[in-house]
Structure 1
Amino acid sequence: MQAISRLFNYARQYRRDAYTASLYSCVNKFFDVLPEVLIGVAVDVVVNKQASFLARFGIIDTMQQLSLLGILTVLIWGGESLFQFLYEVKWRNLAQTLQHDLRLDAYRHVQKLPLSYFERRSTGNLMSVLNDDINQMERFLNGGANSILQVLCSSIMVGAVFFALAPKLALISLLPVPLILYGTFWFQKRLAPRYAAVREAAGVINGRLNNNLLGVATIKAFTAEEFEAEHIRAASDHYRNSNARAIRLSAAITPVIRMAILAGFVATLVYGGWMATHGEIGVGSYSVLVYLTQRLLWPLTGLADIADLYQRSMASIERVLNVLATPLTIPYEGAHLPDGSVAGALAIDNLSFAYGATATLKNVSLTVGAGETVAFVGATGSGKSTLVKLLLRFYQPTSGAIRLDGQDIQQLNLSDLRRNIGYVSQDVFLTDGTIADNIAYGVKGVPRAAVIAAARAAEAHDFIERLVQGYDTQIGERGQKLSGGQRQRLALARAILKDPPILVLDEATSAVDNETEAAIQRSMDVISQGRTTLVIAHRLSTVRHAHMIHVMEHGKIVESGTHEQLLNRNGTYASLWRLQTGEKMAATEPVYAMH
């Protein structure tokens, strides 16, 4: 019941719609029960004629009584059909609206969570929560909620008629109803953990499929199709076995309920017939009771399906609401940065950060003047990328601070901070749209001329123009129709169009060919003018003209200076330069005599 309570609390703005839909369901069930009552009245008219129940209301003629019953039947069936239409429309629209809002709210919340959250979770599992689990909730609201309400209404209405016509028979015939309801809840309680396991198993499958589809080229290259198919088989087996454990329990509900229903129906049929033959109740009343017993009890067999649907939905709702309840450890609120107010001066004071127990940055301090180009070099794992991720507030520092124009970035509005930073990483993210859409990504109402100007600045215009549809070319999911160098140039054009006061280039040229690297380097030389630029690079040739180069090792800055200063120091940077340029090899290479 905790999951449904949490859902009601989340959906409190839709309570009026839920109450209206519930009212339509109850009124529909009221009309649904009345035809059985009319059958009993009709039997009473045929048997007792002028002495029938309707004769008490002044309608003596038998034909008039039957005509009245015909009119009432049409009105009742019309009312039942009308309210069925109304409750189906209301419940389904409510399900669609709630599904839509819950998915958007969950997705917006997930986007605000820190990167550390995603490092601990499978992307496929999150996709399962945001899609499959929310769809399960929709299925329950589409039919399950109405079914539960109508079962409850049937029990109350039929019980009232029973007690009005034959109280003693009612006690016997309706005795199984509370037992049926108790048994249903008993089964539900034991189904809950089993369906929670089913949803987790579904998430594992989604995670594996998502991972394999993204890496399909690698799988093919290593002829690992059967290897990965075996992984999918194992995950699918786990899902199937989890479902089997739930099915064994849920399948037992219907036979148990059916036996309880049989007891109630037989009691009405036999004991009610004995009462009718001995004059304790009329023949019409007996007919009503037999029909109503069937109308009430047999639909209770549907409780098995309802309980199954309910538990599947609650397991899914619990997972979705757990995501929504994940606390935001990096607050978005803070002091706003008006457009054009950022100069771009940065100060890093004793900054430290650790991934769990592993220290990545250790008391790093440095300053970057507004408009300067500063580079960070060093071996993989030295802390270079972590530094810019802390600037973008993807993570929270363990200690220390980063200040932008004298303000601690922890006190700034997060959206404003990131809006003033252009970020180009080695792993380029492109959307499944056109080239123009990707260059203008995140910026609304951009004229085509501005898109083209940004592409020219990134030296991407020429290759774009050679494409059949130019800037309107669809590039496919994650830009798979483009080469790595082309994707990198589009990412750079995107950053140029954003025109931020701070530009971060995180290994932007490490995975491209020499020609593309040269083109990107020319673009960087132009766009870095007048803006603060932070460059992270393995290739030292791309940072030799920086105002300051910081060499990092094991989370610390071990050397700082210009290219010439660091070469003259003959330290770590000079060793890396000689290694990359081949100067060291040239100096020690043996000379062979010609013969």
Structure 2
Amino acid sequence: MTSAQVHPLQRLLIYGRAYRQRIWLASLCSVLNKLFDLAPPALIGLAVDVVVKQQESWIATWGIEGIRSQFIVLSILTLLIWSLESAFEYAYDWLWRNLAQTIQRDLRVDAYSHLQDLDLAYFEDRSSGRLMAILNDDINQLERFLDGGANEVIQVITTVILIGGAFFVLAPGLAWMAMLPMPFIIWGAIAFQRLLAPRYAEVRERVSLLNSRLSNNLAGMLTIKSFTAEPYEIERIRQESEAYRQSNRRAITLSAAFIPLIRILILLGFTATLIYGGLATVAGDLAVGTYSVLVFLTQRLLWPLTRLGETLDLYQRAMASTNRVMDLLQTPITLPPGQQRLPVSQVRGEIRFEDITFAYADRTPVVQHFTLKVPAGQTIAIVGSTGSGKSTLVKLLLRFYEVNQGRITLDGIDLRDLDPRDLRRAIGLVSQDVFLFHGTVAENIAYGSFGASREAIMEAAEIAEAHEFIAQLPQGYDTIVGERGQKLSGGQRQRLSIARAILKNPPILILDEATSAVDNETESAIQRSLEKITRERTTIAIAHRLSTIRNADRIYVMEQGQLVEWGSHEELLQCRGLYASLWQVQMGVRQGA
């Protein structure tokens, strides 16, 4: 049976096995609360029985014949029942609400943890806004149902069982009249649920699209403003919001009709009990106290069912959200982690690409039959035109993607056999696309080296030639850099990225276009710091600016996913091949600038 064929409630219960004991305890408190909540009508019936029959009342059969004594007993029973009803109301409310908080926390953490284990191809096919909607809105929707909806469902079921049983014991002839609406109510609830399910699935999808649009726009605010596209984006948000409103409107149109229809059925059952029960009491076939109990119980049985509409609405929204969250949790991990451990201290840094071929999904191969050996401790550079496959090699080395053919080894160990955490701990990546988190300068430098001291952070910044500009910031190392580091320049962000790699102190360093987006002065500063940190460690430099890699031990030239040239800078110039052509173009551009 596929996940699409399994009911979302069943999927949720399977996930919630760890909470089974707390669910049973909360459910028991809900049942006991409803049991004592339904007791007052019985007390009213006993009171009426005492007033009408006095010394021949039902309580008198206990040996308590005095009227005053009977009312004292009733008072004590009332106090006890109301106290227990209040105590269990507090208990079930506390248990359900805390259970909802626990499940939403664990579900969000589990979903996010699973998300981190998925390969990059998964994220390329999905928007961050849609994933945010699942991790936030959908889990919150489930939390709202567990907060109150679960208790409502249990108490309605308890009410039907208890009061239905009481009717058949006290007045079997009237029981069918009170229970007559029940099959129609249950049938209506099931029918409405089936009709609502696809509508709420559409609602959840619409909110995902809206979140995606908002997320993209907030991230691209600079572009929106620079192209004066504000009216265009406002219109797109309006359209997405209108689509969300319309999908909700279609669901509301149906769910709002449920309660009025239920009220009509309830009216029939209540009226039948009132008339036929009253006639039976007048005829002497039914005691006055029993009739009073039945009238009250009929109201207590049928009236709570009017809340089924609201509860059903909450339930159906929660089930639509549950499906989306469970689909995420059950997304298969296509890059199974290896088990072999390789502590960073034992890494020598020899890397081999052995006849590898790789293609992104539904595309032609980016890398074809690629073979390359990087000796431990050496600095090699890989250059080539845009789209030649240079950055793809970095992603494969970090095992963000799996090679289609061949293998990559680190110190003779296939990357597929290595624990990916050990692999990535051994590699420091300095990319052209620097990502800084919303936090302080110090926190961003220490990212990945979370226990680093302030002295170690400052030392890394000095080596990266970042200390000087950090000292000039308003709060120095405690300055907030803003989301994605937007308060800093591109060169400043790049230097913090280098400081982060220095602090990590990995045996392997990857420089992926580390100086492509900075000015000449910043490039010189970065080059000086890179010369220090590349010593005695394996370094792979991906570069467009050939001047930055001319001192590499060996330079490899890629074209259309294959190696076409290799050698030192001087050797490649003498070959008068692709590298020499690229060098002449760059030098010519610079001379004419």
Q: Output the TM-score relative to the length of structure 2.
A: 0.97
Q: Secondary structure at the match of 1:64?
A: helix
Q: Secondary structure at the match of 2:383?
A: strand
Counterpart position of 1:525: 531
Deviation at 1:27, TM superposition (A): 0.2
- Residues 451-470 of structure 1 aligned to structure 2 (within 5 Å): 451-470=457-476
- C-alpha distance in 2 between matches for 1:499 and 1:371: 14
- C-alpha distance in 2 between matches for 1:74 and 1:213: 58
Q: Could you tell me which amino acid in structure 2 is paired with residue 247 of structure 1?
A: I
- Residues 208-287 of structure 1 aligned to structure 2 (within 5 Å): 208-287=213-292
- Residues 507-518 of structure 1 aligned to structure 2 (within 5 Å): 507-518=513-524
Q: Provide, for residues 75-129 of structure 1, a one-character-per-residue CA deviation record: whole Å limited to 9, x for no partner.
A: 1111111000000000001000010000001001101110000000010000000
- Residues 20-169 of structure 1 aligned to structure 2 (within 5 Å): 20-169=25-174
Q: Secondary structure at the match of 2:510?
A: strand
Q: Could you tell me which amino acid in structure 2 is paired with residue 493 of structure 1?
A: A
Q: Is residue 379–residue 553 contact of structure 1 (8 Å, CA) maintained in 2?
A: yes
- C-alpha distance in 2 between matches for 1:454 and 1:373: 21
Structure 1 unaligned blocks of 5 or more: 590-595
Q: Secondary structure at the match of 2:200?
A: helix
Q: Secondary structure at the match of 1:358?
A: coil
Structure 2 unaligned blocks of 5 or more: 1-5
- C-alpha distance in 2 between matches for 1:434 and 1:219: 27
- C-alpha distance in 1 between matches for 2:195 and 2:463: 64
Counterpart position of 1:498: 504
Deviation at 1:585, TM superposition (A): 7.6
Aligned residues: 587
With over 3 angstroms needed to count, the CA separation of the structure-2 counterparts of 1:263 and 1:584, relative to structure 1, is: closer
Q: Could you tell me which amino acid in structure 2 is paired with residue 484 of structure 1?
A: G
Counterpart position of 1:7: 12
Q: Is residue 445–residue 497 contact of structure 2 (8 Å, CA) maintained in 1?
A: yes
- Residues 392-407 of structure 1 aligned to structure 2 (within 5 Å): 392-407=398-413
Q: Could you tell me which amino acid in structure 2 is paired with residue 387 of structure 1?
A: L
Deviation at 1:583, TM superposition (A): 7.6
- C-alpha distance in 2 between matches for 1:444 and 1:236: 41
Q: Is residue 377–residue 384 contact of structure 1 (8 Å, CA) maintained in 2?
A: yes
Deviation at 1:452, TM superposition (A): 0.9
Q: Output the TM-score relative to the length of structure 1.
A: 0.97
Counterpart position of 1:427: 433
Moved more, 318-327 or 548-557: 548-557
2:449 paired with 1:443? yes
- C-alpha distance in 1 between matches for 2:159 and 2:263: 17
Q: Could you tell me which amino acid in structure 2 is paired with residue 198 of structure 1?
A: V
Q: Provide, for residues 144-193 of structure 1, a one-character-per-residue CA deviation record: whole Å limited to 9, x for no partner.
A: 00000000000011111111110110012111112211210111111111
Moved over 2 A (4+): 583-586
- Residues 263-412 of structure 1 aligned to structure 2 (within 5 Å): 263-356=268-361, 357-412=363-418
Q: Could you tell me which amino acid in structure 1 is paired with residue 291 of structure 2?
A: Y
Deviation at 1:333, TM superposition (A): 3.3
Q: Secondary structure at the match of 1:375?
A: strand
Identical positions, percent: 58
2:209 paired with 1:204? yes
Q: Is residue 350–residue 410 contact of structure 2 (8 Å, CA) maintained in 1?
A: yes
- C-alpha distance in 1 between matches for 2:98 and 2:216: 35
Query: Which of 513, 534, 543 matches 1:537?
Result: 543
- C-alpha distance in 2 between matches for 1:415 and 1:250: 49
Q: Secondary structure at the match of 2:355?
A: strand
With over 3 angstroms needed to count, the CA separation of the structure-2 counterparts of 1:304 and 1:491, relative to structure 1, is: same
- C-alpha distance in 2 between matches for 1:374 and 1:351: 19
Q: Is residue 337–residue 416 contact of structure 2 (8 Å, CA) maintained in 1?
A: no
- C-alpha distance in 2 between matches for 1:547 and 1:178: 83
Q: Is residue 578–residue 584 contact of structure 1 (8 Å, CA) maintained in 2?
A: no
Q: Secondary structure at the match of 1:355?
A: coil
Counterpart position of 1:592: none
- C-alpha distance in 2 between matches for 1:428 and 1:518: 18
Q: Is residue 430–residue 478 contact of structure 1 (8 Å, CA) maintained in 2?
A: yes
Moved more, 300-309 or 347-356: 347-356
Moved more, 132-141 or 423-432: 423-432
Cα-Cα RMSD: 1.3
Q: Could you tell me which amino acid in structure 1 is paired with residue 429 of structure 2?
A: Y
